[in-house]
Amino acid sequence: MKKTVLSIFLAAAFASSALFSGGVAQAQQYDWRDRPPPERYHHHHHHDGNVIAGGVAAGLIGGLIGGAIANGGGYEPAPPPPRCWYESRPVQNEYDDGYHYERMRVCN
């Protein structure tokens, strides 16, 4: 069961990486020594970590869900304790080949 779930997760990961490609890279040639590029070409990136935090959160949640599925996610109660009682049972004597009775603990 664990191998099946793991293979499904791996197939989904590879399929999603094939379907969703990264952004398009553009190379623009500027001679920065002559003059700076026009203002419209300036890209303002706000690197505040939202993308990284989202990726970490998605990985954590996915790992928790995947682990719960792989482990079965169920609870199995402990078996009931054995039921025991005392009985008088015959025991053979070591000296005279006779029998005597002793109380013995008997459990299921």
> Please, are residues 49 and 68 in contact by the beta-carbon 8 Å criterion?
no
Cβ distance 60 to 52 under 8 Å? no
**Containing H/E element for 85?**
strand 84-92
Q: State mean pLDDT over 25-32.
A: 63
Residue 103 has pLDDT above 80, yes or no: yes
Residue found by looking up tokens 């199995």 in the block: 76
Q: Which pLDDT belongs to residue 52? A: 83
> pLDDT digit string (tens) for 37-94?
556 555 556 667 787 888 889 999 998 888 878 777 567 788 888 899 999 999 998 8
Alpha helices in the chain (DSSP H): 2-19, 50-70
Residues in the chain: 108
CA distance 86 to 46: 78
| Alpha carbons 36 and 100: distance in angstroms, whole number | 110
**Cα distance from N-terminal residue to C-terminal residue, the chain:** 34
Instruction: Say what the pTM is.
Output: 0.30
Contact (Cβ atoms closer than 8 angstroms) between residue 99 and residue 93: yes
